[in-house]
A and B are shown apart, each in its own frame.
Chain A
Amino acid sequence: MSEFFYMGGFGIFIWSAMATALVLMLLEPIMLIMKRRSVLADIKRIKRLEERKNRK
């Protein structure tokens, strides 16, 4: 098993390349989900404010 990760001495290169792709490809959707939450929260807040205004 450790031989697999060692990759004939090139493990550090191969796994850091794989990790770069993995990290960026996890970060992108995480940021998209965070963005979606903040946009939805904004829309909800504005909606509540308008409902309150209409009641008065």
Chain B
Amino acid sequence: MNFYPLAGKLIPIFWLLAIALIGLGLYWGFFKTADVLSDQKQYYRIIYVHVASAWMAMWLYAVMVAWAMIGLIFNTRLSYMLASATAVTGTVMTIIALITGAIWGKTSWGTWWDWDPKLTTFLILLFIYIGYIALQAAIDDTRRSDKASALLALVGLAIVPVIYYAVNCPDPNECASLHQESSLKRVESNILIGMLVTTLGFWAYSFATILMRARNIILERERNTTWVSKLDEVK
């Protein structure tokens, strides 16, 4: 298990990156931008945490599926552990995106929630994440729970492109869509910088928490091995 000590060294680096990048991104987003835009007032600043967390929720799902696939193909235990470590951070990101989205919706659309395509599919993403975690927790045998939940993750992957394209509603009479089209071209450059730097910080945060969780899972699963009993942490 070379991964365990390597992850231990990487975690503080990712934490530093996360704090620095999120700090810089928010500083830029709050102090280098105009207070009022043509179609949005100050509340548009929710964009920095909302878009960053929503992107992470989708990307982390893809990362989770990638690890699950590698696990299914090569039957490697570590990739399954990384898949389940990714799922919880993905869930946290999905919850942040939904709550901040609701707050933004209240100011911008006048409602906390609407069964708009983007919002509805995003809620389904949350349920798939929770389903993955619940399925894994429900089966005692780790080898079987790893495989079963990996298959669920793979099937659930279908929702990610649906979320992505959910706002590109061709005819407003056919499908009502409150959510803005996710086009970066519409975003003013200083806001874009704040948003992208914050997102990089969210990536670093995700790596840090995923590695921390992966280390916890390794310790739990390998607690009876000699290499764990020889670790400095348990002396």
Chain A residues proximal to chain B, CB less than 8 Å: 4, 7-11, 13-14, 16-18, 20-21, 24-25, 28-29, 32-33, 35-36, 39-40, 42-44, 46-47
Chain B's closest residue to A6 (CB) is B42
- B212 contacts A32, C-beta separation under 8 Å: yes
- B42 contacts A39, C-beta separation under 8 Å: no
When distances are taken between beta carbons in the complex, the residues of chain A under 8 Å from B41 are 8, 10
Number of interface residues of B (CB under 8 A): 37
With A and B bound together, what is the CA distance between A46 and B222 in angstroms? Answer: 13
State the Cβ distance, B164 to closest chain A Cβ, in Å. Answer: 22
- B234 contacts A43, C-beta separation under 8 Å: yes
B205 on the A face (CB < 8 A) = yes
- B46 contacts A43, C-beta separation under 8 Å: no
With A and B bound together, what is the CA distance between A11 and B50 in angstroms? Answer: 16
- Neighbour of A21 across the interface among B42, B49, B215, B228, CB < 8 A: B49
- A17 contacts B50, C-beta separation under 8 Å: yes
B96 on the A face (CB < 8 A) = yes
Q: Which of A4, A18, A28, A47 has the most CB of B within 10 A?
A: A28
6 tightest A-B CB contacts, nearest first: A10-B43, A21-B49, A7-B42, A17-B100, A17-B46, A32-B212
When distances are taken between beta carbons in the complex, the residues of chain B under 8 Å from A36 are 212, 215-216, 219
Chain A's closest residue to B219 (CB) is A39
- B212 contacts A17, C-beta separation under 8 Å: no
Chain B's closest residue to A36 (CB) is B216
State the Cβ distance, A47 to closest chain B Cβ, in Å. Answer: 6
- A13 contacts B46, C-beta separation under 8 Å: yes
- B216 contacts A32, C-beta separation under 8 Å: yes
State the Cβ distance, A20 to closest chain B Cβ, in Å. Answer: 5
With A and B bound together, what is the CA distance between A4 and B215 in angstroms? Answer: 41
When distances are taken between beta carbons in the complex, the residues of chain B under 8 Å from A39 are 216, 219-220, 223
Interface-lining segment among B103-111, B121-129, B142-150: B103-111
Given contacts A25-B205, A42-B223, contact A14 B43 (CB under 8 A): yes
- Neighbour of B45 across the interface among A7, A20, A29, A40, CB < 8 A: A7
Contacts of B156-187 to chain A: CB distance below 8 A: none
Contacts of B198-213 to chain A: CB distance below 8 A: 205, 208-209, 212-213
When distances are taken between beta carbons in the complex, the residues of chain A under 8 Å from B96 are 20-21, 24-25
- B36 contacts A8, C-beta separation under 8 Å: yes
When distances are taken between beta carbons in the complex, the residues of chain A under 8 Å from B220 are 39
When distances are taken between beta carbons in the complex, the residues of chain A under 8 Å from B193 are none
With A and B bound together, what is the CA distance between A16 and B223 in angstroms? Answer: 41
B229 on the A face (CB < 8 A) = yes
State the Cβ distance, B92 to closest chain A Cβ, in Å. Answer: 5
